[in-house]
Amino acid sequence: MIKLHDKYFKPFISEGEIMAAIKKIADQVAVDYKKETPIFVGVLNGAFMFVSDFLKAYPYPCEVSFVRLSSYQGLTSTGIVESLLDVPENIEGRSVIILEDIIDTGRTVKKLIDLFSNTKVKEFKIATLFYKSEVYNGEYDIDYFGLKIEDKFIVGYGLDYNELGRNLRAVYQLNQKHMINLVLFGKPGAGKGTQASFLKEKYNLKHISTGDVFRYNIKNGTELGTLAKSYIDKGELVPDEVTIKMLQDEVEKNPEASGFIFDGFPRTTAQAKALDDFLVSKEMRIDATIALEANDEVLIQRLLERGKVSGRSDDQDEKMIRNRFDEYNEKTAPLKDYYDDQGKFHSVNGIGSIEDITSRLAKVIEELQAV
């Protein structure tokens, strides 16, 4: 898996397959044109690699030239094809074979035909390395193609995503399943919030901490805040109905998110089930639950330290902390089995430097993305 700008791409067509496809086209063209010296016209920018390897595979005398067109911007074609470098001179009476990296809807083909329509060439042919035959709706029948491919956004071997990826030797396709939803699991003080703040940047995820949402409500004196406070102050869990509803609202508020990190939720089996049902209704799912493991004595020290800095009252009293651990052991710990049964439970050592723990988590996440 590779990342270009904000998107992930997975291997699609290997270097070997590309070379075989090029040889196939070169052999076919060679049969048709060995008796003359054709002019191959590469379409820049994308076709530069194809032109280079094609010429190396073409066994007879030939000439080469280029036109430059541009139509793609980002992932979707703008539909407007501009000519930035015009037709080569002295092509009258010659056989011209266009070398295109990819043909999809056919807009570029149309532009090429327009460009060459007044040039009095002897013959005009189009060869494309990749051909999205299902979406091609042009009238012109493509003369030579290397590989037919489905309508997927691809990069590599000259093709780019916002200018990146042209130098890749193989072709990669956009990884559509790039949404990752993670549950960060662990006792209070395990470092869920700290790690979430790094992971959300690294993987472009929305971080939802139910504890933070409660504290925000308490600070703003909302009804929800007053209710939550009565539980939080005792180190108890806020009732499921309230928490589940609140979590759903937070997800709904972020329809554009490319994935979520759930921190401090779910904390009970009922919450985990509600989360699964809710995500299914949105065609989403939890990809992994990652537990940050640390022993109680380390955690108590961390929480007491945090309490001094953050002023969180539930972090300042060892009795309250121990009560939160009891709540965890009784209500939250069983979720390990719940996620284990779904094959989604991963455990990470939560003791060490923040960076080391982030890399342990990143390793798990990157393995998920590679699937």
Return the number of other C-beta atoms located less than 10 Å from residue 212's C-beta.
Answer: 15
- The residue number with the shortest CB distance to ligand AMP is 211
Min separation Cβ 134 and ligand AMP, Å: 46
- 132, 324, 331, 360: the catalytic one is 324
Smaller CB separation from ligand AMP, 158 or 266 = 266
Q: In whole angstroms, what is the distance from residue 142 CA to residue 146 CA?
A: 11
| Shortest spacing between CB 266 and ligand AMP, in angstroms | 6
Binding interface with ligand AMP (CB under 6 A): 188, 210-211, 214, 231-232, 236-238, 243, 264-265, 267, 271, 314, 324
Nearer to ligand AMP, 171 or 238 (CB): 238
Q: Which is nearer to ligand AMP, 172 or 214 (CB)?
A: 214
Contacts of 285 (CB under 8 A, 6+ apart): 181, 276, 279
- Nearest distance, CB of residue 267 and ligand AMP, angstroms: 4
Phi, psi of 107 (to 5 degrees): -65, -40
For residue 322, indicate whether it is catalytic. Answer: no
To the query of whether residue 306 is one of the catalytic residues in this protein, the response is yes
Residue 363: CB minimum distance to ligand AMP, A: 24
- Which residue among the candidates 7, 125, 187, 192 is catalytic per the annotation? 192
Q: How far is the CB of 11 from ligand AMP (least distance, A)?
A: 39
Residue 331 Cβ vs ligand AMP, minimum distance, rounded to whole Å: 9
- Nearer to ligand AMP by Cβ, of 146 and 264: the residue is 264
267 is a catalytic site residue: yes
Judged by beta carbon, residue 98 or residue 182, the one nearer ligand AMP is 182
Catalytic residue among 68, 306, 336, 344: 306
Neighbours of 169 (CB within 10 A): 11
Catalytic pick from 267, 302, 331, 360? 267
**3-state DSSP of the chain:** CEEECCEEEEEEECHHHHHHHHHHHHHHHHHHHCCCCCEEEEEECCCHHHHHHHHHHCCCCCEEEEEEEEEEECCEEEEEEEEEECCCCCCCCCEEEEEEEEECCCHHHHHHHHHHCCCCCCEEEEEEEEECCCCCCCCCCCCEEEEECCCCCEEECCECECCECCCCCCEEEECCCCCEEEEEECCCCCCHHHHHHHHHHHHCCEEEEHHHHHHHHHHCCCHHHHHHHHHHCCCCCCCHHHHHHHHHHHHHCCCCCCEEEEECCCCCHHHHHHHHHHHHHCCCCCCEEEEEECCHHHHHHHHHHHHHHHCCHHHCCHHHHHHHHHHHHHHHCCHHHHHHHCCCEEEEECCCCHHHHHHHHHHHHHHHHHC
Question: Is 94 one of the annotated active-site residues of the chain?
Answer: no
As measured in angstroms, the least distance from the Cβ of 314 to ligand AMP is 6
In the complex with ligand AMP, which residue's Cβ is closer, 18 or 232? 232
Please, which residue, 234 or 253, has the CB nearer to ligand AMP? 234
Q: Is 324 a catalytic residue?
A: yes
The residues annotated with a catalytic role in the active site are 192, 267, 306, 312, 324
